[in-house]
A and B are shown apart, each in its own frame.
Chain A
Amino acid sequence: MNIEKVIFGFFILLAFTLNFGFVLGQIDVPHQHDVFELFAAIVINFIATALKFGDRTQVGALHLATSLVADLQLVTAALIWGHAEYVSGTGMTPGVTSMVVSFAAGALAANLVSVVLLIGETLQHRR
């Protein structure tokens, strides 16, 4: 067992699960989407991105790309949230909430690809 692989897999899966946990719930109901979970998802996604640095293979490049997409989507979701709270002052209306959640859902898709890649890669090595 390679400890590096454990850490790598751990962060990728955690990024996916946190993201999934945040997105879970009705899309326009603010109290079903926790701000701490979004924060955690962003941080773990960043760490996952950093872990993917420096892999020169084709799969590695795709890994990094999916992570960058997820980062972009999650940060956008956080910015929309912040904008609604402090700039426009509308607060978390159903419209804003669904926007934030849909961006996070986009990130979820990217994270899913990442997980699929991870599993695919592992299975390939098994053979």
Chain B
Amino acid sequence: MDGIFFLMLRRLRAPIIMLISIYAIAVLGLVLIPGIDGNGKPYHIDFFHAFYFISYTATSIGFGEIPHPFTYQQRLWVLLCIYLAVTGWAYAIGSIFGLMRDESLRKAIAHARFGRKVRRISEPFYLICGYGQTARILCKVLDDLDIRFVILELREERINDIALANFHYDTPSFAGDAANPELLKIAGIEHPHCIGIVGITGNEEANLAIAISAYVLRPQILSICRSRNRSVAENMASFGTNKVINLFETVGRKFARRLQQPNVAQLCDVLADFPGNPIATEPQPPVGHWVIVGFGRFGAAVYQALLAAGCSVTVIDPEPQAQLPPDCFIHALGVDAASLKQAGIEHAVGLLVSHDNDANNLSALATAREINPQLFTVARQNLTHNHILFTAFKPNITSIRAQIIAHECLRAMENPLLADAMALISQQSEAWAAQLLPQLLELCKGKVPEIWRIQFNARNASAVHAMLAQPLPPLRIEHYTHDALNHGDSLRCLALLHRHAGTDTLLPTGDTPLYFGDELLFIGNHHARLAHTAVQESISLLDYIRTGQEQPQSWLFRRIAQYRQDQKNPPLSIAEQGAD
């Protein structure tokens, strides 16, 4: 803000000096020119009254000629002064308004305001670079989860969209190049509350620059970056980026999993989805002959997945594809019946349309449907706002680029344990997933459950109490399923992962004891999450969930309870109990 003040002063130097000079000349002239008082005697106006007169004349207020009516010479001088002063003021005011409209000043004010807002954030926040379709989805969910974020975006008009997005929190946002480390610093990458940085700008180079800046400036925070091709992805990973999202590989992997392990795929989908969304049972793609229209990176990823699942595939693309066998490739756009028929659409079981143009995709989809209504269709939707068209067409699977990336980001952001849990889950068998799925559906009544982590470390006050200060009775996982307000009622939550001394256990049993340094990953409804948060902060609530008895809160009642305890069984017996 200081800089802006000085910038304004500097720009206003000329008009201010001009005004001072005009006033000085006018006042001096008025003092020097002799007047005639009421008695006809000559007199000189003094400085004070001259300044008073000029002040109201120059601002065109005009109280009249005081203290006595002016002489001819005085009026001549005042006439000159009026025009001089009005010009001076017009110039000064014009300069001030001109300055207000000045683009560089406005930018400087926005910059200073942004920096101040970021500095004042007192909660953990994410720094999101790029506010495109992906970021819109991501920010919406983060906002719903009460997580704060700061947005950097290159284009001014998108920054205006943020103001219209109606986030709960005042979101600091600034139009600037996120590839500039100086700007990242102002945007809070070094802020103690910054927990992660997300590089999802449309520019591959900028994303890489963000990865590098994050590595150099704050290596310890979470960094998530998007890349379109493998070499950049590897480059990012070499800079210690925690999560590199390579969109097309992600899609291919997802598709392959869905073909081969539908239950595991659905489990992963549910865990990666946004909390509160209804859990959709996505259909399983059939195995047989497939037609792929549009062989970009997306098409190629699915192609590999289909081949791996034992399907036969024919590809239609307007560009020649040298790496494909010639009998599986048709050189056409794929929107007309002839080329689709040539690709064997009549006897195909599935169709993937993956042009980077939504109109082509919809056109191909419509034509193919007409020829073969039983087709299983997978469509790539490029732009979010074409949603209505795609919903009307009802492809069996719609793959929206922005959504996939947003899911991937969220999964990485929510907590690192989840990413590990997902990796473990994808190695599990179909039967295991099939048995877990109904439990998951039950948790939030068909909605996607929330996922949270409990760390038993020094920050968790009640864990310190329960594990170090008063380790009896031992804390077990099942205690965390008790309601903190009403013992006996159980919370709708499920311990998904238990990390103890570096080993992860999926779905730990309830009687697993907890030790200092452990971590737990829970899935469940919002109520359970709130209960767990409360328990972490309150020692008495923790004692309540593990003993089922309300513990005395105040010093006096604690003393009384202690006394009663000692009366019942002498202190020695506690030592014996401990020794057991």
Q: Is the CB of A54 within 8 A of B9?
A: yes
Closest to A54 in B: B10
Q: How many angstroms from the CA of A39 to the CA of B48 in the assembled complex?
A: 10
Q: Contact flags (1/0) for B5-24 with A, using CB distance below 8 Å? A: 01101111100110011011
Closest to B14 in A: A50
Q: Is the CB of A39 within 8 A of B47?
A: yes
Closest to A45 in B: B20
Q: Contact flags (1/0) for A49-69 with B, using CB distance below 8 Å? A: 011011110000000000000
Main secondary structure of the interface of B (DSSP, over half): helix
Residues of B within 8 A of A43 (CB): 20-21, 23-24
Q: How many angstroms from the CA of A11 to the CA of B66 in the assembled complex?
A: 33
Q: Is the CB of B20 within 8 A of A46?
A: yes
Closest to B3 in A: A56
* Residue from the list A39, A51, A55, A82 in contact with B17, Cβ < 8 A: A51
Q: Is the CB of B7 within 8 A of A54?
A: yes
Closest to B10 in A: A54
How far apart are A54's CB and chain B's nearest CB, in angstroms?
A: 3
Closest to B25 in A: A43
User: In this assembly, does A121 line the interface, its C-beta being within 8 Å of a C-beta of chain B?
Assistant: no
Q: Is the CB of A53 within 8 A of B10?
A: yes
User: In this assembly, does A119 line the interface, its C-beta being within 8 Å of a C-beta of chain B?
Assistant: no
User: In this assembly, does B146 line the interface, its C-beta being within 8 Å of a C-beta of chain A?
Assistant: no
Q: Is the CB of A50 within 8 A of B6?
A: no
Q: How many angstroms from the CA of A35 to the CA of B12 in the assembled complex?
A: 30
Q: Contact flags (1/0) for B365-377 with A, using CB distance below 8 Å? A: 0000000000000
* Residue from the list B3, B9, B21, B28 in contact with A53, Cβ < 8 A: B9
Q: Is the CB of A86 within 8 A of B13?
A: no
Residues of B within 8 A of A39 (CB): 24, 27-28, 31, 47
User: In this assembly, does B205 line the interface, its C-beta being within 8 Å of a C-beta of chain A?
Assistant: no
How far apart are A26's CB and chain B's nearest CB, in angstroms?
A: 22
Interface residues of B in 25-60 (CB under 8 A from A): 27-28, 31, 46-48
User: In this assembly, does A47 line the interface, its C-beta being within 8 Å of a C-beta of chain B?
Assistant: yes
Residues of B within 8 A of A78 (CB): 47
Q: How many angstroms from the CA of A39 to the CA of B49 in the assembled complex?
A: 13
Q: How many angstroms from the CA of A39 to the CA of B32 in the assembled complex?
A: 12
Q: Given A78-B47, A85-B46, A86-B48, is A47 in contact with B3 using a C-beta cutoff of 8 Å?
A: no
How far apart are B261's CB and chain A's nearest CB, in angstroms?
A: 64
Q: How many angstroms from the CA of A54 to the CA of B2 in the assembled complex?
A: 10
Q: How many angstroms from the CA of A87 to the CA of B20 in the assembled complex?
A: 26
Q: How many angstroms from the CA of A51 to the CA of B46 in the assembled complex?
A: 28
On chain A, the number of residues with a Cβ less than 8 Å from chain B's Cβ atoms is 16
* Residue from the list A36, A53, A56 in contact with B12, Cβ < 8 A: A53
Closest to A82 in B: B48
Q: Contact flags (1/0) for B266-304 with A, using CB distance below 8 Å? A: 000000000000000000000000000000000000000
Q: How many angstroms from the CA of A86 to the CA of B23 in the assembled complex?
A: 22
Q: How many angstroms from the CA of A51 to the CA of B21 in the assembled complex?
A: 13
Main secondary structure of the interface of A (DSSP, over half): helix
Q: Is the CB of A51 within 8 A of B28?
A: no
Closest to B32 in A: A36
Interface residues of A in 23-53 (CB under 8 A from B): 35-36, 39, 43, 46-47, 50-51, 53
Residues of B within 8 A of A50 (CB): 13, 16-17, 20
Residues of A within 8 A of B12 (CB): 53
Residues of A within 8 A of B27 (CB): 39
* Residue from the list B7, B21, B28 in contact with A47, Cβ < 8 A: B21
Q: How many angstroms from the CA of A43 to the CA of B50 in the assembled complex?
A: 14
Residues of B within 8 A of A82 (CB): 47-48
Q: How many angstroms from the CA of A39 to the CA of B13 in the assembled complex?
A: 21
Q: Is the CB of B6 within 8 A of A56?
A: yes
Residues of B within 8 A of A54 (CB): 6-7, 9-11, 13
Q: Contact flags (1/0) for B217-255 with A, using CB distance below 8 Å? A: 000000000000000000000000000000000000000
How far apart are A72's CB and chain B's nearest CB, in angstroms?
A: 16
Interface residues of A in 108-126 (CB under 8 A from B): none
How far apart are A19's CB and chain B's nearest CB, in angstroms?
A: 16
Residues of B within 8 A of A47 (CB): 17, 20-21
Residues of A within 8 A of B48 (CB): 82, 85-86
How far apart are B25's CB and chain A's nearest CB, in angstroms?
A: 9
Q: Is the CB of A53 within 8 A of B47?
A: no
* Residue from the list A46, A53, A56 in contact with B13, Cβ < 8 A: A53
Closest to A46 in B: B20
Q: Is the CB of A35 within 8 A of B17?
A: no
Residues of A within 8 A of B23 (CB): 43
Residues of B within 8 A of A36 (CB): 28, 31
Interface residues of A in 58-103 (CB under 8 A from B): 78, 82, 85-86
How far apart are B144's CB and chain A's nearest CB, in angstroms?
A: 44
How far apart are B575's CB and chain A's nearest CB, in angstroms?
A: 68
Q: How many angstroms from the CA of A78 to the CA of B13 in the assembled complex?
A: 25
Closest to B47 in A: A39
Residues of A within 8 A of B28 (CB): 36, 39
How far apart are A80's CB and chain B's nearest CB, in angstroms?
A: 12
Closest to B12 in A: A53
Q: Is the CB of B13 within 8 A of A51?
A: yes
Q: 9 closest pairs, A vs B, by CB?
A: A54-B10, A53-B9, A43-B24, A50-B16, A82-B48, A54-B9, A50-B17, A46-B20, A54-B6
Which residues of B come within 8 Å of A, CB atoms?
2-3, 6-7, 9-13, 16-17, 20-21, 23-24, 27-28, 31, 46-48
26 A-B pairs in the complex with CB atoms less than 8 angstroms apart: A35-B46, A35-B47, A36-B31, A39-B28, A39-B31, A43-B21, A43-B23, A47-B17, A47-B21, A50-B17, A50-B20, A51-B13, A53-B9, A53-B13, A53-B16, A54-B6, A54-B10, A54-B11, A54-B13, A56-B2, A56-B3, A56-B6, A78-B47, A82-B48, A85-B48, A86-B48
Given A35-B47, A43-B21, A86-B48, 9 extra CB contacts under 8 A: A36-B31, A46-B20, A50-B13, A53-B16, A54-B7, A54-B10, A82-B47, A82-B48, A86-B46
